[in-house]
Structure 1
Amino acid sequence: MLATDAWEPQVNGVVTTLKRTLDECRALGHDFEIIQYNEFKTVSWPDYKEVKLALGCYEEVRERILMYAPDAVHIATEGPVGLAARRVCVEWGLPFTTSYHTKFPEYVSARLPLPLSVGYAYMRWFHKPSGRVMVATPTLQKDLEAHGIKNVSPWTRGVDTVMFRPDLEPIYGDLPRPIMAYVGRVAVEKNIEAFLSLDVPGTKVIVGGGPQLEELKVKYPKTIFTGPRFGDELARSYADADVFVFPSLTDTFGLVILEAMATGTPVAAFPAHGPIDIIPGSNAGVINDDLKIATEEALKLDPKNVRAYAEKFSWRACAEEFVRNLQPLPQPEKARIWTRLKALNPIRKRRKTA
């Protein structure tokens, strides 16, 4: 059973990771039921309408978990759906796992007047009962452990090397070169202005949508803003760029890094979570505290080496690691616990009475 506050129609690395992992898990013979935020009444995050928060979901989440009787419960996010699933598991003594996809404390602090200490206190509380907290990189694992979060385990990522490949039709036409592209949400936590403010030759392109889009269009009129792109058009946006610039300091991995590399486009980034684990020694990108230097050095890399590095990552390996991290109920205990919980389930009793 997967409980998540991030799902379609949202377009982000969390949704991509969950969907591709579950596709591979099904191919391995596993079954999943998904409890997602858009099955409930929702409200939008105050300054980010694409992010929805589920309302009044606890009883339905409890019913879904108890009726499905899963071997394992995985809670992917720390929002209302994740909170409801966590509450069910804690109240009924069910083992569960969680994952840490977004630097939630930094994300909230960028939007609300809350110190990071408050966000990390919530993270410790939320993940404390989890059997395993799955994270994408060793650096993030060390960071969470330093903040007092225990039972952290690695969960790698993959990339579609068929969709994202170098031999795609150009998309940028006669724009002045070099073309430096960013792909992702256009939001304050992505630190996009660190890229847009660089004094570099060529053309800067921003592919994606988000709450900061209109503001940045006005502030940086020479930048090309394409809006969101998908499928072949998205892959071409990576492949036809000369360098992919990833300015984020708050991502936990950055799937877009691997997508760019798969098209042979080198990556320039800060030495932050994600890039610091993916890029050093890869010959596929450059990290530097000076993003301009990282961009200039990345332009010198061989696209063939960039593509070869991306080919080392697969979604099958990602799914296999995910399954290993799950904590299923032992078979004898499973039969007893679900029989007992279904009998005690107050919602089920009310429905029978009605």
Structure 2
Amino acid sequence: MRIALITDAWLPQVNGVVRTLTTVIAELRSRGHVVEVTSPDLYRSIPAPSYSEIRLALVGPRAVARRIEAFRPDTIHIATEGPLGWAARRYCLHKKLPFTTAYHTQFPDYIARRTRLPASWFWPFIRCFHGPAARTMVATGTIRAQLREQGVEPLHHWSRGVDVGTFHPDYPPPDLFFTLPRPIQLYVGRVSVEKNIEAFLGNAHPGSKVVVGAGPALEKLQARFPEAHFLGKRTGDELAACYAGADVFVFPSKTDTFGLVMIEALACGTPVAAYPVPGPLDVLEPASGVMAERIEDAIAGALRLDRAACHQLGKAFSWHASADQFVSGLAPIARETASARLAKAPA
């Protein structure tokens, strides 16, 4: 199958959306599918306001249409609600071609935190973008229920996986961890306002707090919490060693749709502490994590969990199954209409 995938989130960004897309694309290509990615690195771009690591492509709809046209896809998937996503959506609607979308990010909550405006103001944007899609792919039951309540349908389940070859408990801790007071509380992810990292760094549970990641809030948090340890970006074995060496993984976000880092931590045998919100509610089980309204209570409970049980539950998530779910949700372009519609000049 020839799959055109359009995304505004792409390398060198380091986040759950990019890791999901790159891993699933690699799995699809290993099966013989041809995947062409349309991403910001192909065009001139500018940094997103207040978040320079995210690049916004400076490209008109015709350029995106010509790229899709030249590829002649069997199916089109639009992964994000950014400039490239809107351009591809416009092309598909103009040509009357079916397409699928995905809801990776809680944009209404994300923008509300940055603007201090009500999240309800931004839901019409989400309904407009995803409304014409043949299906919108979503990772968890809680988010599916939320989208249905907001009038976004039809929906398709697309879960996430973990690379058990990289994420497992058998790593020696980083040298730093041998010098820190226990328990070591770890956060991994974007260092930005919507991740609610202040709640993690300001919690009163004794021990050491370690942050792995980068982002626009890094300098502010370093100045505000000088006793915390900020390690910057880590990938591969270095990241897995941080997970495996920590006593508890703290997931303070209240705006994620899944939380890929949680299952990476679990696969390394590290229990999770989180708030009872979408993402943790769908991923965690009593044996793998504790959720509480006070993050200190969740940390205290998670520290009592069995690490072997956490490892078993974490490694049950499979990228192979995730790729199966993705393919089953795609909307193929009918052969009898593909040649006629794709052969016309781009919109």
TM-score range, shorter chain: over 0.9
Please give the secondary structure, in 2, of the residue aligned with 1:90: helix
Tell me the TM-score normalized by structure 1: 0.94
Is residue 199–residue 252 contact of structure 2 (8 Å, CA) maintained in 1? yes
Alignment equivalent of 1:127, drawn from 122, 125, 130 = 130
Please give the secondary structure, in 2, of the residue aligned with 1:73: strand
Alignment equivalent of 1:287, drawn from 270, 274, 291 = 291
Is residue 259–residue 280 contact of structure 2 (8 Å, CA) maintained in 1? yes
The reply to whether residue 277 of structure 1 matches residue 293 of structure 2 is no
Amino acid at match of 2:181: P
Please give the secondary structure, in 1, of the residue aligned with 2:35: coil
Is residue 280–residue 287 contact of structure 1 (8 Å, CA) maintained in 2? no
Post-superposition CA distance 1:133-174 (Å, at most 9, x none): 000001100001111111111101000111011010111122
Report deviation, 1:332. Answer: 2.6
In structure 2, the residue matched to 1:209 is: 214
Aligned pairs (5 A) from 1:197-236: 197-236=202-241
Amino acid at match of 1:326: L
Report deviation, 1:111. Answer: 1.5
Separation in structure 2 between the aligned mates of residue 81 and residue 114 of structure 1, nearest angstrom: 25
In structure 2, the residue matched to 1:352 is: none
Separation in structure 2 between the aligned mates of residue 195 and residue 117 of structure 1, nearest angstrom: 27
In structure 1, the residue matched to 2:304 is: 300
In structure 2, the residue matched to 1:175 is: 180
Separation in structure 1 between the aligned mates of residue 35 and residue 221 of structure 2, nearest angstrom: 40
In structure 2, the residue matched to 1:83 is: 86
In structure 2, the residue matched to 1:336 is: 340
The reply to whether residue 239 of structure 1 matches residue 219 of structure 2 is no
Amino acid at match of 2:198: E
Report deviation, 1:336. Answer: 3.1
Report deviation, 1:188. Answer: 0.5
The reply to whether residue 20 of structure 1 matches residue 37 of structure 2 is no
Tell me the TM-score normalized by structure 2: 0.96
Q: Following superposition, which runs of at least 4 residues in structure 1 exceed 6 angstroms of deviation? A: none
Aligned pairs (5 A) from 1:136-175: 136-171=139-174, 172-175=177-180
Please give the secondary structure, in 2, of the residue aligned with 1:44: strand
The reply to whether residue 324 of structure 1 matches residue 328 of structure 2 is yes
**Same amino acid, percent of matched pairs:** 48
Unaligned runs of 5+ in 1: 347-354
Unaligned runs of 5+ in 2: none
Separation in structure 1 between the aligned mates of residue 250 and residue 346 of structure 2, nearest angstrom: 51
In structure 2, the residue matched to 1:349 is: none
Separation in structure 1 between the aligned mates of residue 265 and residue 16 of structure 2, nearest angstrom: 13
Report deviation, 1:218. Answer: 1.0
Please give the secondary structure, in 1, of the residue aligned with 2:46: strand
Alignment coverage as a number of residue pairs: 342
The reply to whether residue 58 of structure 1 matches residue 77 of structure 2 is no
Is residue 206–residue 223 contact of structure 1 (8 Å, CA) maintained in 2? yes
Separation in structure 1 between the aligned mates of residue 188 and residue 339 of structure 2, nearest angstrom: 47
**CA RMSD in angstroms, aligned pairs only:** 1.1
